Protein backbone atom coordinates (compact mmCIF):
# COMPACT_ATOMS: atom_id res chain seq x y z
CA UNK A 1 0.00 0.00 0.00
CA UNK A 2 1.72 3.18 -1.17
CA UNK A 3 1.29 6.68 0.20
CA UNK A 4 -0.07 7.81 -3.15
CA UNK A 5 -2.89 5.26 -2.88
CA UNK A 6 -4.00 6.85 0.38
CA UNK A 7 -3.85 10.36 -1.05
CA UNK A 8 -5.56 9.50 -4.33
CA UNK A 9 -8.31 7.49 -2.63
CA UNK A 10 -9.14 10.32 -0.26
CA UNK A 11 -8.89 12.99 -2.94
CA UNK A 12 -11.27 11.09 -5.23
CA UNK A 13 -13.91 10.94 -2.48
CA UNK A 14 -13.45 14.63 -1.67
CA UNK A 15 -14.14 15.48 -5.30
CA UNK A 16 -17.32 13.40 -5.20
CA UNK A 17 -18.67 14.91 -1.97
CA UNK A 18 -18.55 18.45 -3.37
CA UNK A 19 -21.32 17.38 -5.76
CA UNK A 20 -23.29 15.16 -3.36
CA UNK A 21 -23.16 17.16 -0.11
CA UNK A 22 -26.44 19.03 -0.86
CA UNK A 23 -28.24 15.68 -1.07
CA UNK A 24 -26.64 14.67 2.21
CA UNK A 25 -27.93 17.84 3.86
CA UNK A 26 -31.47 16.95 2.80
CA UNK A 27 -31.00 13.35 3.95
CA UNK A 28 -29.93 14.43 7.43
CA UNK A 29 -32.87 16.78 7.86
CA UNK A 30 -35.38 14.20 6.64
CA UNK A 31 -33.99 11.71 9.14
CA UNK A 32 -34.38 14.20 11.98
CA UNK A 33 -37.84 15.58 11.23
CA UNK A 34 -40.53 14.03 13.39
CA UNK A 35 -37.91 12.59 15.75
CA UNK A 36 -39.62 10.18 18.16
CA UNK A 37 -43.06 11.32 16.99
CA UNK A 38 -45.76 9.13 15.50
CA UNK A 39 -46.36 9.44 11.77
CA UNK A 40 -48.85 12.20 10.93
CA UNK A 41 -48.43 14.07 14.23
CA UNK A 42 -45.72 16.52 13.17
CA UNK A 43 -45.07 19.16 10.54
CA UNK A 44 -42.94 18.01 7.61
CA UNK A 45 -40.93 20.90 6.15
CA UNK A 46 -39.08 18.38 3.97
CA UNK A 47 -41.31 16.14 1.85
CA UNK A 48 -39.10 14.99 -1.01
CA UNK A 49 -35.69 15.79 -2.43
CA UNK A 50 -36.50 18.57 -4.97
CA UNK A 51 -38.97 20.28 -2.61
CA UNK A 52 -36.52 20.03 0.31
CA UNK A 53 -33.71 21.62 -1.69
CA UNK A 54 -36.00 24.44 -2.78
CA UNK A 55 -37.19 24.91 0.80
CA UNK A 56 -33.62 25.23 2.04
CA UNK A 57 -32.64 27.70 -0.69
CA UNK A 58 -35.71 29.89 -0.17
CA UNK A 59 -35.37 30.02 3.61
CA UNK A 60 -31.64 29.74 4.20
CA UNK A 61 -29.95 30.70 0.94
CA UNK A 62 -28.18 28.73 -1.78
CA UNK A 63 -25.01 28.20 0.25
CA UNK A 64 -27.02 26.38 2.92
CA UNK A 65 -27.01 23.35 0.60
CA UNK A 66 -23.28 23.08 1.26
CA UNK A 67 -23.49 23.29 5.05
CA UNK A 68 -21.05 20.93 6.71
CA UNK A 69 -18.88 20.72 3.61
CA UNK A 70 -15.58 21.17 5.49
CA UNK A 71 -16.08 18.22 7.89
CA UNK A 72 -17.62 16.24 5.01
CA UNK A 73 -14.43 16.70 2.99
CA UNK A 74 -12.26 15.66 5.94
CA UNK A 75 -14.47 12.66 6.68
CA UNK A 76 -14.38 11.46 3.09
CA UNK A 77 -10.61 11.86 2.85
CA UNK A 78 -9.88 9.86 6.01
CA UNK A 79 -12.51 7.19 5.31
CA UNK A 80 -11.78 6.62 1.65
CA UNK A 81 -8.02 7.03 1.75
CA UNK A 82 -8.10 3.83 3.78
CA UNK A 83 -11.09 2.08 2.21
CA UNK A 84 -10.19 2.56 -1.44
CA UNK A 85 -6.52 1.87 -0.85
CA UNK A 86 -7.31 -1.45 0.82
CA UNK A 87 -9.63 -2.36 -2.05
CA UNK A 88 -7.18 -1.23 -4.76
CA UNK A 89 -4.24 -3.12 -3.28
CA UNK A 90 -6.32 -6.24 -2.68
CA UNK A 91 -7.41 -6.10 -6.33
CA UNK A 92 -3.85 -5.62 -7.60
CA UNK A 93 -2.53 -8.45 -5.45
CA UNK A 94 -5.24 -10.80 -6.73
CA UNK A 95 -7.07 -11.23 -3.42
CA UNK A 96 -10.46 -10.39 -4.97
CA UNK A 97 -10.27 -12.69 -7.98
CA UNK A 98 -11.61 -16.21 -8.29
CA UNK A 99 -9.61 -18.91 -10.09
CA UNK A 100 -11.25 -17.97 -13.40
CA UNK A 101 -10.24 -14.32 -12.96
CA UNK A 102 -13.72 -13.03 -12.08
CA UNK A 103 -14.31 -10.77 -9.06
CA UNK A 104 -15.38 -12.58 -5.89
CA UNK A 105 -18.45 -11.00 -4.32
CA UNK A 106 -17.65 -12.18 -0.79
CA UNK A 107 -13.99 -11.21 -0.88
CA UNK A 108 -14.96 -7.78 -2.13
CA UNK A 109 -17.39 -7.43 0.78
CA UNK A 110 -14.72 -8.51 3.26
CA UNK A 111 -12.06 -6.07 2.11
CA UNK A 112 -14.65 -3.33 1.73
CA UNK A 113 -15.80 -3.82 5.32
CA UNK A 114 -12.25 -4.06 6.67
CA UNK A 115 -11.11 -0.82 5.07
CA UNK A 116 -14.38 0.98 5.72
CA UNK A 117 -14.54 0.24 9.44
CA UNK A 118 -10.94 1.27 10.01
CA UNK A 119 -11.39 4.53 8.14
CA UNK A 120 -14.72 5.29 9.81
CA UNK A 121 -13.34 4.95 13.32
CA UNK A 122 -10.63 7.52 12.74
CA UNK A 123 -12.99 9.80 10.80
CA UNK A 124 -15.80 9.63 13.40
CA UNK A 125 -15.27 13.19 14.78
CA UNK A 126 -15.74 14.69 11.33
CA UNK A 127 -18.93 12.70 10.67
CA UNK A 128 -20.43 13.89 13.94
CA UNK A 129 -19.71 17.54 13.17
CA UNK A 130 -20.94 17.08 9.59
CA UNK A 131 -24.28 15.72 10.80
CA UNK A 132 -24.69 18.51 13.34
CA UNK A 133 -23.92 21.23 10.80
CA UNK A 134 -26.21 19.62 8.21
CA UNK A 135 -29.05 19.95 10.72
CA UNK A 136 -28.44 23.62 11.49
CA UNK A 137 -31.14 25.76 9.90
CA UNK A 138 -33.26 28.86 10.39
CA UNK A 139 -36.09 28.40 12.88
CA UNK A 140 -38.84 28.11 10.26
CA UNK A 141 -37.41 24.89 8.79
CA UNK A 142 -35.30 23.59 11.71
CA UNK A 143 -35.60 19.92 12.70
CA UNK A 144 -33.86 17.93 15.41
CA UNK A 145 -31.60 19.39 18.09
CA UNK A 146 -29.90 22.58 16.91
CA UNK A 147 -26.19 22.85 17.68
CA UNK A 148 -24.67 26.33 17.47
CA UNK A 149 -21.41 25.63 15.68
CA UNK A 150 -20.09 28.52 13.60
CA UNK A 151 -17.41 26.43 11.87
CA UNK A 152 -15.72 23.05 11.95
CA UNK A 153 -12.95 24.38 14.19
CA UNK A 154 -15.50 25.92 16.54
CA UNK A 155 -17.25 22.54 16.76
CA UNK A 156 -13.99 20.68 17.45
CA UNK A 157 -13.06 23.09 20.24
CA UNK A 158 -16.56 23.02 21.76
CA UNK A 159 -16.69 19.21 21.86
CA UNK A 160 -13.18 18.97 23.31
CA UNK A 161 -13.84 21.59 26.01
CA UNK A 162 -17.18 20.04 26.94
CA UNK A 163 -16.55 16.30 26.78
CA UNK A 164 -12.81 15.84 26.20
CA UNK A 165 -11.19 13.54 23.64
CA UNK A 166 -13.74 10.78 24.24
CA UNK A 167 -16.49 13.15 23.08
CA UNK A 168 -15.26 12.81 19.50
CA UNK A 169 -16.05 9.09 19.48
CA UNK A 170 -19.23 9.04 21.57
CA UNK A 171 -21.34 7.58 18.74
CA UNK A 172 -18.68 5.60 16.89
CA UNK A 173 -20.46 2.25 17.28
CA UNK A 174 -23.52 3.02 15.12
CA UNK A 175 -21.24 4.73 12.64
CA UNK A 176 -19.12 1.57 12.39
CA UNK A 177 -22.22 -0.55 11.82
CA UNK A 178 -23.36 1.87 9.12
CA UNK A 179 -20.03 1.76 7.32
CA UNK A 180 -19.68 -2.00 7.74
CA UNK A 181 -22.88 -2.50 5.77
CA UNK A 182 -22.30 0.30 3.25
CA UNK A 183 -18.67 -0.53 2.52
CA UNK A 184 -19.17 -4.26 2.16
CA UNK A 185 -22.21 -3.87 -0.10
CA UNK A 186 -20.82 -0.97 -2.13
CA UNK A 187 -17.35 -2.31 -2.82
CA UNK A 188 -18.60 -5.88 -3.05
CA UNK A 189 -21.23 -5.09 -5.69
CA UNK A 190 -19.63 -2.30 -7.73
CA UNK A 191 -16.88 -4.33 -9.44
CA UNK A 192 -19.26 -7.27 -9.91
CA UNK A 193 -21.89 -5.06 -11.57
CA UNK A 194 -19.22 -3.43 -13.69
CA UNK A 195 -17.89 -6.81 -14.77
CA UNK A 196 -21.35 -8.10 -15.74
CA UNK A 197 -22.28 -4.96 -17.70
CA UNK A 198 -18.99 -5.07 -19.57
CA UNK A 199 -19.01 -8.82 -20.29
CA UNK A 200 -22.61 -8.71 -21.54
CA UNK A 201 -21.76 -5.82 -23.83
CA UNK A 202 -24.59 -3.71 -22.41
CA UNK A 203 -22.34 -0.73 -21.61
CA UNK A 204 -18.96 -0.04 -23.20
CA UNK A 205 -18.07 3.62 -22.53
CA UNK A 206 -15.75 3.68 -19.47
CA UNK A 207 -17.42 6.55 -17.59
CA UNK A 208 -20.95 5.40 -18.42
CA UNK A 209 -19.94 1.89 -17.35
CA UNK A 210 -18.82 3.22 -13.96
CA UNK A 211 -22.03 5.23 -13.59
CA UNK A 212 -24.31 2.28 -14.37
CA UNK A 213 -22.35 0.01 -12.06
CA UNK A 214 -22.53 2.67 -9.36
CA UNK A 215 -26.28 3.00 -9.90
CA UNK A 216 -26.77 -0.74 -9.39
CA UNK A 217 -24.48 -0.78 -6.37
CA UNK A 218 -26.14 2.31 -4.88
CA UNK A 219 -29.57 0.66 -4.98
CA UNK A 220 -28.43 -2.17 -2.72
CA UNK A 221 -26.52 0.21 -0.46
CA UNK A 222 -29.62 2.34 0.15
CA UNK A 223 -31.86 -0.64 0.97
CA UNK A 224 -29.37 -2.27 3.32
CA UNK A 225 -27.94 0.83 4.93
CA UNK A 226 -30.87 3.20 5.55
CA UNK A 227 -31.75 2.01 9.10
CA UNK A 228 -28.11 2.22 10.21
CA UNK A 229 -27.82 5.67 8.66
CA UNK A 230 -30.85 6.91 10.61
CA UNK A 231 -29.45 5.52 13.87
CA UNK A 232 -26.09 7.19 13.24
CA UNK A 233 -27.62 10.59 12.47
CA UNK A 234 -29.88 10.51 15.53
CA UNK A 235 -27.09 9.55 17.94
CA UNK A 236 -24.57 12.02 16.54
CA UNK A 237 -26.99 14.94 16.59
CA UNK A 238 -28.59 14.40 20.00
CA UNK A 239 -27.74 16.75 22.87
CA UNK A 240 -25.47 15.40 25.62
CA UNK A 241 -24.78 16.19 29.28
CA UNK A 242 -21.47 17.36 30.71
CA UNK A 243 -20.20 13.78 30.75
CA UNK A 244 -21.01 13.21 27.09
CA UNK A 245 -24.02 10.98 27.78
CA UNK A 246 -26.91 11.23 25.34
CA UNK A 247 -30.02 12.97 26.62
CA UNK A 248 -32.31 11.22 24.12
CA UNK A 249 -30.64 7.86 23.47
CA UNK A 250 -28.52 5.85 25.91
CA UNK A 251 -26.98 3.73 23.19
CA UNK A 252 -27.50 1.94 19.91
CA UNK A 253 -30.11 -0.52 21.18
CA UNK A 254 -32.02 2.19 23.05
CA UNK A 255 -32.04 4.36 19.92
CA UNK A 256 -33.33 1.53 17.74
CA UNK A 257 -36.02 0.59 20.28
CA UNK A 258 -37.32 4.14 20.69
CA UNK A 259 -37.48 4.79 16.96
CA UNK A 260 -39.21 1.47 16.32
CA UNK A 261 -41.80 2.03 19.05
CA UNK A 262 -42.68 5.62 18.12
CA UNK A 263 -42.01 5.82 14.38
CA UNK A 264 -42.13 2.21 13.23
CA UNK A 265 -40.48 0.86 10.07
CA UNK A 266 -41.14 4.19 8.37
CA UNK A 267 -38.81 5.86 10.88
CA UNK A 268 -36.00 3.50 9.98
CA UNK A 269 -36.28 4.49 6.33
CA UNK A 270 -36.60 8.24 6.67
CA UNK A 271 -34.36 9.87 4.11
CA UNK A 272 -34.27 6.72 1.97
CA UNK A 273 -34.52 8.48 -1.38
CA UNK A 274 -31.78 11.01 -0.64
CA UNK A 275 -29.60 8.09 0.47
CA UNK A 276 -30.28 6.34 -2.83
CA UNK A 277 -29.87 9.39 -5.06
CA UNK A 278 -26.67 10.34 -3.23
CA UNK A 279 -25.20 6.86 -3.10
CA UNK A 280 -25.26 6.15 -6.82
CA UNK A 281 -23.57 9.35 -8.06
CA UNK A 282 -21.20 9.44 -5.08
CA UNK A 283 -20.08 5.87 -5.71
CA UNK A 284 -19.71 6.57 -9.41
CA UNK A 285 -17.83 9.84 -9.02
CA UNK A 286 -15.51 8.39 -6.38
CA UNK A 287 -14.49 5.42 -8.50
CA UNK A 288 -14.27 7.49 -11.70
CA UNK A 289 -12.09 10.11 -10.00
CA UNK A 290 -9.97 7.38 -8.40
CA UNK A 291 -9.40 5.58 -11.70
CA UNK A 292 -8.54 8.85 -13.45
CA UNK A 293 -6.15 9.88 -10.68
CA UNK A 294 -4.44 6.49 -10.82
CA UNK A 295 -4.03 6.95 -14.56
CA UNK A 296 -2.53 10.41 -14.12
CA UNK A 297 -0.18 9.13 -11.42
CA UNK A 298 1.00 6.16 -13.47
CA UNK A 299 1.31 8.11 -16.72
CA UNK A 300 2.78 11.41 -15.55
CA UNK A 301 4.63 10.45 -12.36
CA UNK A 302 5.89 6.90 -12.51
CA UNK A 303 6.60 7.13 -16.24
CA UNK A 304 9.08 9.99 -15.75
CA UNK A 305 12.73 8.96 -16.10
CA UNK A 306 14.81 9.19 -12.95
CA UNK A 307 18.11 11.02 -12.86
Question: Are 71 and 130 in contact, with CB atoms under 8 Å apart?
Answer: yes
User: What is the residue-averaged pLDDT of the chain?
Assistant: 87
Structure confidence at residue 304 (pLDDT): 57
Dump pLDDT digits (tens) for 141-189. Answer: 999 999 999 999 999 999 999 999 989 988 888 888 888 887 667 766 7
Distance from chain centroid for Cα 194: 21
Structure confidence at residue 8 (pLDDT): 82
Question: Are 73 and 11 in contact, with CB atoms under 8 Å apart?
Answer: no
What are the structural domains, with CATH classification, of the chain?
3-303 (1.50.40.10)
Structure confidence at residue 302 (pLDDT): 60
For the chain, the straight-line distance linking the first and the last C-alpha, in angstroms and rounded, comes to 25
Structure confidence at residue 250 (pLDDT): 92
Question: Are 35 and 26 in contact, with CB atoms under 8 Å apart?
Answer: no
Structure confidence at residue 92 (pLDDT): 81
**C-alpha torsion sign, points 107, 226, 291, 17:** negative
Report the SS3 class of residue 240. Answer: strand
- Single pTM value for the model: 0.86
Sorted by sequence, the CB contacts under 8 Å of residue 290 that are 6+ apart come out as 8, 9, 12, 84, 88
Structure confidence at residue 94 (pLDDT): 86
Residues of the chain short of pLDDT 70, as ranges, are 1-5, 183-184, 187-188, 301-307
Q: How big is the CA angle at 125 (ends 123 and 126), to the nearest 5 degrees? A: 70
Q: Which of 178, 170, 176 is nearest to 129 (CA)?
A: 170
Separation in Å, CA 162 to CA 55, 237, 242, 250, 272:
33, 15, 6, 18, 33
Amino acid sequence: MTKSDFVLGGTAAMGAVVFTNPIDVVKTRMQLQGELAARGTYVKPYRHLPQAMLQIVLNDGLLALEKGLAPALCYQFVLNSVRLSVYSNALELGYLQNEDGSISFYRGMFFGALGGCTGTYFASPFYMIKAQQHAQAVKSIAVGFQHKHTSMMDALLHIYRTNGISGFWRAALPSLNRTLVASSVQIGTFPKAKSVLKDKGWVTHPILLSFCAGLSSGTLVAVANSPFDVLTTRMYNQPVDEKGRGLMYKGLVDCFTKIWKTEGLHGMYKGFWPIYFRSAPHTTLTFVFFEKLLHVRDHYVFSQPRN
